[in-house]
Amino acid sequence: MSIFFSRATALAVVLLPCLATAAPLSLDAALELAARRSETARAARAGVRSATEAAQAAAQLPDPVLRVGIDNLPATGPDRFHTARESMTMKRIGISQEWLSADKRAARQAAADAAVGRERVQAQVAAAETRLQTALAYLDAFYAGESLKLAVLAEHHAHEELEASRARLSSAAGSSQEALAMAGAKGVSEDEAADIRQQQDAARVALERWVGVQPGELMPVGELPLPGEDAYVAGHATVAARQRDVDVARQAAAVTASNRKPNWTWELAYGQRTGYSDMVSVGVSIPLPVAPGERQDRDTAARLALVEKAEADLAEATRAAGAEYRALASDAERLRQRIERYRAGVVVPAGQRTAAAMAAYRSNQASLAAPFEARHAELEAQRKLLALQRDLTRARILLAFRPLTAEVAQ
């Protein structure tokens, strides 16, 4: 049973790209595929694990030091380099331990935890960037397909116009100039369709770079949940990263400030002498800060200056994120209004004009050029509307996917 299940699983893995290519691809499915295969996100998660492992040892005491030696070994005379002839010669073994106070260890642990938090934010930023770039690539590929549909329709119309002009020419109702003009229009429409196909191929390759499969039919983007300004600014990648930089700088300054109090080192040694009593030595080493104002205090001041720098960078990033949100929200609202006005004021009348021109032509009240011109005008209006819709969707994608969301944070 297990062998059959393994073979079935392997077959499913092999056929998965084919199935994914055949089935329509939605934006949510593309985002999930991109998140699974993102190497940037995997690298960021490895950075989190590295910082977490390093933080485990941050509050530990330094390793003890084993000390072994020989004291007062004769260097001249008949007892030179003999360890058992001189009463002052002593074989010594000892151990020393540098001691850090609880406050220092707590400060180092806090600094390590701040570094872990910064790496976690970097992982979130990497995941959010992957989602954003995937969504933008999906947008380009989808609207390239929609543009191609209009280009194919224009190509079809140009072919019909050419055939109609040839029929008119054969019946002496048209002219050779009209037929040549239609032939040129057909060539232009075919070239435009070929150009859009090339753009679509490039957009699909860019999307495949993120999702890992050749996309088939793409579903419309649909509505996107848009954050408010406060949520956008708080979740902005740059703001979140700058906030963690402030935390790291503050904790590093606290560690540096704690170094004003030196670390004591305790030592215990056992000495062995030949023919005499063995000896035990106990000692403590205390560094003497002879000029703290010129060394330790300046180190602390340097760290505090870095804290101020990080806070200034955070304030600037917050302002920039707020301005960015207002610009994107304004663009989205203006584009929405333009789309409504353009659809009501241009696209709908263009469709009505085409219907009226076709009705007039069928009743022999208008020439063949009238419906052709009306259809061209309607296609151009639809192309402009499609471009506006693409710009609106892009603005909404930037608003929706640029901040770090709760799903990305997990």
Residue 290 three-state SS:
coil
Residue 149: C-alpha distances to residues 4, 26, 153 (Å) = 45, 19, 6
Query: Distance between CA atoms of 122 and 402, rounded to whole angstroms?
Result: 14
- Asked if residue 213 lies in contact with residue 134, where contact means CB atoms within 8 angstroms, the answer is no
- Sheet hosting strand 264-272, strand order edge to edge: 65-71, 90-99, 264-272, 279-285
Closest CA to 289 of 266, 264, 261, 265: 261
What residues contact 138, with CB distance under 8 A and at least 6 apart? Answer: 27, 30, 207, 218, 221
User: How does pLDDT run across 212-263, given as a tens digit for each residue?
Assistant: 888 888 999 988 989 999 999 999 999 999 999 999 999 999 999 998 888 8
- Overall pTM surpassing 0.85 (yes/no): no
Query: Distance between CA atoms of 168 and 183, rounded to whole angstroms?
Result: 14
DSSP string, 40-101: HHHHHHHHHHHHHHHHHTTTSPPPPEEEEEEES---SSTTTT-SSS-TT-EEEEEEEEEE--
Question: What is the pLDDT at residue 164?
Answer: 67
Q: Which residues of the chain have pLDDT under 50?
A: 1-21, 407-410
Question: What is the pLDDT at residue 368?
Answer: 67
Question: What is the pLDDT at residue 168?
Answer: 62
Rg of the chain over Cα atoms, rounded to whole angstroms, equals 38
Indicate the residue type of 353: R
The one-character DSSP state at 87 is: T
Place of tokens 């021109």: 357
Residue 50 three-state SS:
helix
